[in-house]
Chains A and B, each alone.
Chain A
Amino acid sequence: QVHLVESGGGVVQPGGSLRLSCVASRFPFSGYGMHWVRQAPGKGLEWVAFIGFDVNNKEYADSVKGRFTISRDNSKNTLFLQMNSLRPEDTAVYYCAKAGTTWDYFDSWGQGTLVTVSS
């Protein structure tokens, strides 16, 4: 059973930075693409970013492009999301999710970490 555990969330002021981590276990992490998906309070799901298994393929939603950076350390089975220039509208629960047999869906999710951007 895939296990994904996010951490790093918290309260940050507008314009600030935060780095999220997601530790993966119980599957061959280096062989799968990974995503970040977020959910604002009381709202729907929003895809944030994707990184391929070989780290060279990265994609971002327009809403975060140029501010967020997705990365991974396959030696530590860990996914990261560096978030800079944070805005109040970035307030959300951030989930890491494992890509399925193709890159374009999510077959396992972590429990999420809450990021609150507020002064």
Chain B
Amino acid sequence: SSELTQPPSVSVSPGQTARITCSADALSKHFAYWYQQKPGQAPLLIIFKDSERPSGIPERFSGSSSGTTATLTISGVQAEDEADYYCQSADSSETDHVTFGGGTKLTVL
């Protein structure tokens, strides 16, 4: 299966902009999806189809994708945004399979 590569950690101060990248050949052919997971909670979909935001997700969360890299941007980071973030896509080598990135721990300083 293909792998999605994320940085293990990102740190930002409140009010700054956090960017989390996700890289894989699969992203040149398939959409990227992003999930937020806080300790002890189930994941929450925050971005779908590269850049769409589900209802109820704050506008400070945005997504983009170009070539083999997708990016989750959190503008004006708040303390409550501290969480693990996972990217996900369809597997480019296996039909009807999906794959996750390893996750990025966002720390709000």
- A-B contacts at CB below 8 angstroms, number: 60
From B1, B96, B99, B102, contact of A103 by CB (8 A)? B96
Contacts of A95 in B (CB 8 A): 42-43
Residues of B in contact, count (CB < 8 Å): 26
- In the complex, which residues 23-66 of chain A have their Cβ closer than 8 Å to any Cβ of chain B? 35, 37, 44-47, 50, 57, 59, 61-62
Contacts of B30 in A (CB 8 A): 104
Q: Within 8 Å of chain A (Cβ to Cβ): is B79?
A: no
A59-B99 Cα distance, complex, nearest whole Å: 13
Residues of A in contact, count (CB < 8 Å): 23
Is the Cβ of B43 less than 8 Å from the Cβ of A106? yes
Q: A44-B86, A62-B1 are in contact. Are A106 and B45 (CB under 8 A)?
A: yes
Q: Within 8 Å of chain A (Cβ to Cβ): is B23?
A: no
